[in-house]
Amino acid sequence: MLLLLVHLLATTAMAGLIWFVQVVHYPLFASVGADVFAGYEASHQRLTSYVVGPFMAVEGVSALALAATESDTVGWPLILTGWIMLALIHASTIFLQVPAHTRLSGGFDQSIVDRLISTNWIRTIGWSARAVLATAMVAIAA
C-alpha cells in the first residue's frame, strides 16, 4: 500500500503541476517581453526541472515497481494502462514540448508558444487520467 500511495502522490503532484503550467504558466510567456525572453526561457527550463524532475522520477520508478508488487492486487490492466499513459506523456514531452522549448531558447515566438500550449494538452489530459487511475488503484487495494 505504501508504494501505491507514493505513486499516487507523485502522479497527483504532476497532474497539479501540469494544470498550473497549462492554464497559468505557458499563457503568461507572452507577457515576459521579447527583449528578456531568452533568459527567462533558460531559467524556466532549469528551475522547472528542479520541481518536476523528482516527481517524474518517483512516478516512473513507482509505476514500474507496481508490476513487481501490486499486480495481484490492482491487476495488470490498470498497471499496463498506466504505463501506456506515461509512455504517451513522455513521448509528448520528448517530441513536442522539448523541441518547442529549444526553439524558444532563441527568443519569443508566439506561434511556438501557441503550439506548446495546444500540444501540452496531451500531458495535461494524460496526467489527469493517470491521477484518476492511481486513485483507483489505491481504492482497489484499500
Query: pLDDT tens digits, residue range 85-142?
Result: 999 999 999 999 999 999 999 999 999 999 999 999 999 999 999 999 999 999 999 9
Per the CB < 8 A criterion, the answer to whether 113 and 30 are in contact is: yes
What would the grid cell of residue 128 be?
A: 489527469
Q: Give percent above pLDDT 90 in the chain.
A: 95
Count structural domains, the chain: 1
- The amino acid that residue 67 corresponds to is A
Is the pLDDT at 70 greater than 90? The verdict is no
What residues make up the domain containing 37? Answer: 2-141
pLDDT of res. 71: 84
Backbone dihedral angles phi then psi of residue 35, each to the nearest 5 degrees: -70, -25
Q: Which of 10, 8, 4 is nearest to 54 (CA)?
A: 10
Cα radius of gyration rounded to whole Å, the chain: 17
Residues whose CB is less than 8 angstroms from the CB of residue 125 and which lie 6 or more positions away in sequence, other chains included: none
